Each structure stands twice: as C-alpha cells, then as structure tokens.
Chains A and B, each alone.
Chain A
C-alpha cells in the first residue's frame, strides 16, 4: 500500500512536469472552463425564467446539482480520459505488454498513470456552485458537507468502475477506441435531477446506468434532501461496481494475447 502511494506521488509530479511543457493549454482550458460554466448557467436561467422548479428542485438546488455535475466532469477529464481513455489503444497496438510486465497491479498502472491537471479548475468552480447552492438552502452545516463528501466519493468510485468496465471491453472488441463515450450518452442527463425525467428514463438512470447515484445523490446530500435508502444504495453500488470492475479486469487480462502476429 505504501509503495502504491509513493508511486502515485511520483506519477502526479511527472504528469505535472509533462503538462508544464504545454503552458498555452492553461489559458485555453481556463476559457473552456469559463464557457462551460456560463453555458450551464444560461440553460438553468432559460429554465427558471419560465418555471419555478425542475423535477421539484428549486433554483439554488439546481445550481448545487450543476456544481456536482461540473466536479464529475473535472474528475473524468483529469483522471479517466488520460488513463482509461488510452486503454483501447494500448490493446490495439500491443503496448499493453509493457503494463503487464511491471511488478505492479496492472489495473492500478492503467488507471492512475497520467493526470490532466489543467482541467482541475472545473472542480473548483463546481465546488463554489455547490457551496452557493448550500448557502441558499440549508446552510454549510458540517454534517451536510461530510455527507456530500462521502456521496461524492461514492459517485467517483462508481464512475471509475463504469469507465473501467467499458474500456476493458476493448480486450475482446479491439476496435472500440471511443467506447467510453457510451457513458457520456447517459452522463449528460446528470446535470438535471433524476426526478425531472419520465418514469421509464428514471428507472434506466437509477438501476441500469446509475447516473442518479453519481450526481443527484451527492447534490441531495448537500442541500438536505437526502434519504437513507438512496445514501446506502449509493455506497452499495460503489462497492459492488468496484468489485465487479476488478473481476472483469482480471478475466480480460487473462484472455489478452498481445497484438503481434
């Protein structure tokens, strides 16, 4: 465990060094964050200038939820795209060999090698929106902050596990360099409360692709709307999906035959 933490520190430092070569990115990514933030708020403005609530959520609650959505967007851009996003290419080109040769958990190495730090500001903006939403509703009580943090963590684990399982399919299907975009097809729904959707869509977003547990539940915890079944469900889903992703990974690696002829 100590060894893995040390390695993680080295990987972060190394990514930072790599990224510092491309400083021009900083400005563009900053403007990009700002625009994403503005466009999200414009959509919320367009909705609330015509309605008093979305799926029973008030304006400050919807802003808090959008904050959570931005935090997860940042999580995906900083951690998931630079690492798991490359997995299908590793498999197709045979570079996966080098991952397996290292005396480390291959899942760890494929998941936590690179960090796109420039997208981290999105998470800060998202947290600010979340904080604003909390101030306007129940206030910044330590209990809600703690609960929200735990639910965010559970959501992050679930998101990671889904990404990991999706990209792992590349071991069998090979030509699916964009398979993680399937997650986005559902994730874009996460900027709105799950209660705003028709029942059948809500069922899909809760039980099949658990987007509801990723964004709606942490935001609920922050603004004091959380009920215990959803909170416990979120923890159970995070644990279950993580275990499943690990088992899936092991089967996939066992069937890997490299890319040379």
Chain B
C-alpha cells in the first residue's frame, strides 16, 4: 500500500477501535437509545388495527406491518445525535483540542455513528425478521430490491448526517442549534413518513413533500423494498438523494470553513 492510503487505513482502524472501546463502556446507554425508538412500532399497531376490517388507502394490515417494520430499520440505521456533542464542544471551546489533531473532527463523529450502527446489526435485523414473520408481512417485501434498498439506506444516512452536522456547526454563531434540532425532527418524522405512509395524503401534498430531503430519508428506501416504485420513479428518487447529499455536504463544508474563521477570531 502506498503512503497516504496506508495512513488513512491506520487512522480509520485506530479511530474505530477507540470509539468501540468508548461504546462498550456506555453499552447500557446505547441499548436504551435502541429501545426508545419504538414509535414506528406503535404506529404499526395503530394502523394495523385501522386496517383490520379491510384495506385503508390501499394498505392491508400486512402492508402496514411491512411498511412500519421497514421504517423501524431506517430509523435505527440512520440514527444521528451529532448536533448535541458538536454544538456543545464548539460552545465550550472543547473543539480546540480536536483541531490540534491531524484529522477533520468530522471523521471522529462519523466513527462514533458507525460504531452505533455496528452495535445494532445483531439486534435490529432479527427483531424485524421476527416481526415480519409474526405479522405475515414477509411476502410483502420485494427481495430482489434488497441491494437497492441498502444503497438507499446509505443515501438516507448521508443526507441525515450531513444535514445534522451542518446544524451542529451553527453553534459557531448561536447557542440555539439544539433547539432547532427538535423542530427538524418533527418535520422529518411527518414528511419522512414515519407516522403514516405519505401516499395517504392528497396528491398535491405528496408532490410538495417529494421535493424536500425528508422523503428520501425514510419513505423512499421503504417504498423500494416494498416494490412500489417503477424504474423511472427509482431513478428519480436516487437522483434526488444524490442532489440532497451533495447539497448538505456542500453546506457542511461552507459552515465549517466560515465557522472556523469566526472561532479563531473569538479565541478559546
């Protein structure tokens, strides 16, 4: 391996092993966050109950089961809490220590989140599989779409993480970054389709929501796995995912550079 590549590989390994050690220390907290994400399952029970006497808006009970179990996967594997630690470190000046390291702090936070995903791997898929079998919803999945579903999850993660990272960086200007996170979360849950499938809304509302980044963070990947999308719709969806990913990566770079100028001006 050549020099820079070997260095990068070594960095990634060190970073991941350090964060893994930290996570094992806090494993109870990680487990609690995992359990606390029950909302999609609650919504699943409610919608299944509503569809017990016949389909609701084209969804039978098993369709709702499949839909919300997939939403659960999306919520668990795009989990993102970067706003809190990032804005706190900027506010309290702890960012200075990180800036001394020969690595963009971005990657430390990415490593944190990657480890959280790895720790969910042995738990979430078996739970979802069990749920699919118990509700008889397994047949509703389009298994051939699995590779595309995984790609769409990566896209969803990239949009979500870069969006939240940019929001956390707002702490360079104001100490309200964390309050905005609550607002963003409410919109994300509704527009993303975590509370009900967006296809239950009037067509105009659906079209407007399809322009926002939120539907590509939950609803779009879920619809792929349910086999609801035509090739054209899928291409358009992946295109939108790419556009929003690039937009938020760009925003992140911009806020980071402008923020750092400010940070050095203020001094820590």
Contact = CB atoms under 8 A, between A and B. Distances in A.
B45 A201 contact: yes
A36 B186 contact: yes
Interface stretch (B155-163, B188-196, B211-219, B224-232): B188-196
Interface string B148-182: 00000000000000000000000000101001101
Interface stretch (B6-14, B32-40, B69-77, B251-259): B32-40
Interface in A175-221: 175-179, 181-182, 184-186, 188-189, 192, 196-198, 201
A189 B33 CA distance: 17
A239 interface: no
B172 to A, nearest CB: 16
Interface string B34-56: 01111100100111111000001
B39 A42 contact: no
A134 to B, nearest CB: 23
A181 B29 CA distance: 10
Nearest to B174: A24
Interface string B200-215: 1100000000000000
Contacts of B200: 46, 49-50
B201 A46 contact: yes
B32 A181 contact: yes
Contacts of A124: none
B183 interface: yes
Given A54-B49, A175-B25, A179-B32, A32 B183 contact: yes
Which of B179, B195, B201 has the most chain A CB atoms closer than 10 A to its own CB? B179
Given A31-B183, A32-B182, A43 B196 contact: yes
A175 B67 CA distance: 35
A28 interface: yes
Contacts of B187: 35, 39
B1 interface: no
Given A28-B180, A175-B28, A185 B36 contact: yes
A28 B46 contact: no
A178 B33 contact: yes
Contacts of A173: 28
A185 B49 contact: no
B49 A28 contact: no
Contacts of A186: 38
A175 B176 contact: no
A29 interface: yes
A176 B186 contact: no
Contact of B189 (A31, A39, A189): A39
Interface string B55-66: 011000000000
A25 interface: yes
Given A185-B36, A188-B42, A175 B26 contact: yes
A176 B28 contact: yes
Nearest to B53: A51
Contacts of A25: 176, 179
Contacts of A192: 42, 46
Contact of A196 (B29, B32, B46, B182): B46
A25 to B, nearest CB: 6
Nearest to A183: B36
A188 B201 contact: no
Contact of A46 (B45, B186, B196): B196
A182 B35 contact: yes
A43 B46 CA distance: 11
23 contacts: A28-B179, A31-B183, A32-B183, A32-B186, A35-B187, A43-B195, A43-B196, A46-B201, A47-B46, A51-B50, A54-B46, A54-B50, A178-B29, A181-B33, A182-B35, A182-B36, A185-B35, A185-B37, A189-B42, A196-B46, A197-B49, A198-B48, A201-B45
Interface of A: 24-25, 28-29, 31-32, 35-36, 39, 42-43, 46-47, 49-51, 54-55, 173, 175-179, 181-182, 184-186, 188-189, 192, 196-198, 201
Interface of B: 25-26, 28-29, 32-33, 35-39, 42, 45-50, 56-57, 174, 176, 179-180, 182-183, 186-187, 189-190, 195-196, 200-201
